[in-house]
Amino acid sequence: MLFGGCAKIGTPTGGPRDVTPPRFLRSSPPNYSTNFSARKIECWFDEYLQLKDINQQLMISPPMKKKPSVTPKGKSFVLELNDTLKARTTYVMDFGNAITDNNEGNVLEGFRYVFSTGDYIDSLSVSGTVISAFDLKPPKESFLILVYNDLSDTAPSAKLPLYVGRTNASGKYRIDNMAEGQYRFYAIKDNNSNFRYDPFTEPVAFIDSVITLSPHQINTDSSGKLVPVELPPFYFFTENDTRQYIKNTNRKEPCKLEVVMNIPPKGEILYHAPSFDVHEKLIAERNHSGDSLTLWITDSLLCAADSLTLIFSYFSPADSSRKTDTVRFNYFDAGGKKQKEFLQLKTSPSRGGTVDLFAPLAITAGKPVCKTDTSKIILTETLDSVSRPRPFRFYRDSLNPRLCYVACSWQPEGSYVLNMYPGFLTTCQGYTNDSLEVSFLAQKQEFYGNIILHVGGHLTSPVIIQLYEKNLVDERYISSDTTLVFSMLKPASYSFKAIYDDNHNKLWDTGNLKKKQQPEEIELMEESLTVRSNWDIEKTWILKKRITGSKKNNK
């Protein structure tokens, strides 16, 4: 008898998924060889493998000027040396997360191949952590630890390090197989992979004092494993750039010229044009940080020009002089049908939103405003079903010619309507707004909460107390034990930071490697505080100014 039927299509299960990374079997020459002189190294594993991002993952200590070439060969890989090896030197090749199996991509983490061109393998080890001086968090990306036996101040920028290490996701690092001696330690975010510190463009950290390693520091734990010497923590920072230059310029719109500086300038950016009066034809818009300048063209003929040339002048702190740059702004109009243009307006809060009781309503125009007519706006308040016009205060922003405000003594839970009619705001080209109606509510009084913070600790220097809710909310400056009240806070989770203002300038100051100056110390409150509506939180914070590892080392 024959039975017919349809074949069932499926994927064979084949057993459980492989989660085991490749296992190292042997190598030629053997791992941890001494009197090493080979030019080729081959390592075998128990399964077929891949090498992922080998150029980024493979880190050799001491670094080599000419990188080796690495080629996978089924269950092995071959590494060919392209540089001359130093005499009587221990080399460590750390493959990071490069070695994975061929099928599932399981990673063999931290495989190392070690050899010495001398009679023995160096055995001293160090470990430590790298964290941000500004918020005490580990770096988001890996940092390199650079170790020098050249103790000069110029070494990290001018020379390759003797040893190099790499931080993990927690900011921790470990460097093994070091020789006894005196060293200086640095940590950098090596953006250009040159194993050197590039000032101003790369975050850096350093340990103040020279670290001495000697055989008597070798210790083992109960299982016989080597215990590394724990170094003081690194607190990384980015140095203040004293160079001043124009970083970027563009003209994405015919009437809008943008200039971005590398850092906020000290003093005003001056500008003029060879062919027109900038005071008559341009309106300046500056951002709050001061590092960008937007120039709006008020003349329609200038807007239509394909190319405009401006000359900028600004102060450069690096050489205490004024620099001059000539910038050409080009714009090409691809054409297209043009429609009648209205001045676009946006409000904060927007329609249906809620305004904070002590905040104004903000109005942002799409282009700079040259003329205002407050008779063209009406603010109406409704309380207990009774509507009435409300007086308000209208004012312009001091930096942004597109931004203005409507301020009023908002009544808790009041309902408001702001009507803006044509002619309320007008640009220099004569464009005005279309009619716009925005309805919004005022917040409830009981919506807010308060934090009462008692700060103690027998302060010996002024402290900046900062309150954060994602971003900075408020800050206070104190010089003795005191009680601070932070009122009218929105319900959220808040955190506190203390900055020890040693130079009394009411700012957090970054470090300076050349001057051997560490960043100003900070302290974070260990717990966050959750503010609830109509609720007071009372908290005592006893500050304990930390003594950084680098300063401990100097004692």
Q: How many C-beta atoms lie closer than 10 Å to residue 547's C-beta?
A: 12
pLDDT of residue 342: 86
The residue written with tokens 């939103």 in the block is: 353
Nearest alpha-carbon partner for 213 in 147, 312, 310 = 147
User: Residue 528 to residues 106, 497, 543: CA-CA distances in angstroms?
Assistant: 38, 11, 15
What is the DSSP code string of 363-411? Answer: EEESS---EE-GGGEEEEEEETTEEEE---EEEE-SS-TTEEEEE--PP
User: Residue 398 to residues 211, 226, 350, 405: CA-CA distances in angstroms?
Assistant: 53, 63, 22, 11
Strands 90-94 vs 112-116: parallel, antiparallel or unpaired: antiparallel
The three-state secondary structure class of 423 is: coil
Q: In sequence order, what are the beta bridge partners of 456?
A: 542
Sheet of 112-116, strands arranged across: 59-61, 90-94, 112-116
Tokens of residue 191, six digits:
């953006």
pLDDT of residue 521: 95
pLDDT of residue 551: 44
The three-state secondary structure class of 43 is: strand
Q: What angle do CA 228, 232, 235 make, to 5 degrees?
A: 130
Say if residues 115 and 33 touch (Cβ distance below 8 Å): yes
57: DSSP letter = H
Q: Which amino acid is at 514?
A: K
User: Residue 317 to residues 43, 204, 289, 358, 508: CA-CA distances in angstroms?
Assistant: 54, 22, 17, 40, 20
Up-side HSE of residue 239: CA atoms within 13 Å toward CB? Answer: 20
Counted residue by residue, the chain has a size of 555
Nearest alpha-carbon partner for 102 in 53, 24, 51, 50 = 50
What's the rounded Cα separation, in Å, for the pair 187 and 173? 10
Question: Which residues 6+ apart lie within 8 Å of 72 measured at CB?
Answer: 49, 50, 51
Largest Cα span, the chain: 102
Tokens of residue 50, six digits:
């891949």
Q: In sequence order, what are the beta bridge partners of 355?
A: 442
Burial class (CB in 10 A: 0-12, 13-18, 19+), 301: exposed
Sheet of 403-407, strands arranged across: 345-348, 361-365, 403-407, 393-396
Question: Which residues 6+ apart lie within 8 Å of 548 measured at CB?
Answer: 232, 233, 235, 518, 521
pLDDT of residue 408: 96
Say if residues 89 and 138 touch (Cβ distance below 8 Å): no
Say if residues 270 and 296 touch (Cβ distance below 8 Å): no
Tokens of residue 9, six digits:
């299509």
Tokens of residue 521, six digits:
């110390």
pTM score of the predicted model: 0.82
What's the rounded Cα separation, in Å, for the pair 84 and 313? 51
pLDDT in tens, the chain (555 residues): 444 445 444 445 556 777 899 999 999 999 999 999 999 999 999 999 999 999 999 999 999 999 999 999 999 999 999 999 999 999 999 999 999 999 888 999 989 999 999 999 999 999 999 999 999 999 999 999 999 999 999 999 999 999 999 999 999 999 999 999 999 999 999 999 999 999 999 999 999 999 999 988 888 777 878 889 999 999 999 999 988 999 999 999 999 999 999 999 988 899 999 999 999 999 999 988 889 999 999 998 999 999 999 999 999 888 889 999 999 999 987 665 455 578 999 999 999 999 999 999 999 999 999 999 999 999 999 999 999 999 999 999 999 999 999 999 999 999 999 999 999 999 988 899 999 999 999 999 999 999 999 999 888 889 999 999 999 999 999 999 999 999 999 999 999 999 999 999 999 999 999 999 999 999 999 999 999 999 999 999 999 875 444 444 333
Say if residues 291 and 263 touch (Cβ distance below 8 Å): yes
Q: How many C-beta atoms lie closer than 10 Å to residue 32's C-beta?
A: 15
Say if residues 459 and 478 touch (Cβ distance below 8 Å): yes
Q: In sequence order, what are the beta bridge partners of 346?
A: 364
Nearest alpha-carbon partner for 264 in 292, 225, 238, 233 = 292
Nearest alpha-carbon partner for 380 in 335, 429, 353, 420 = 420
pLDDT of residue 251: 96
Say if residues 314 and 269 touch (Cβ distance below 8 Å): yes
Tokens of residue 179, six digits:
């020789």
Sheet of 40-45, strands arranged across: 24-28, 40-45, 76-80, 69-73
Helix (H) and strand (E) counts in the chain: 5, 46
What's the rounded Cα separation, in Å, for the pair 157 and 200? 12
pLDDT of residue 2: 44
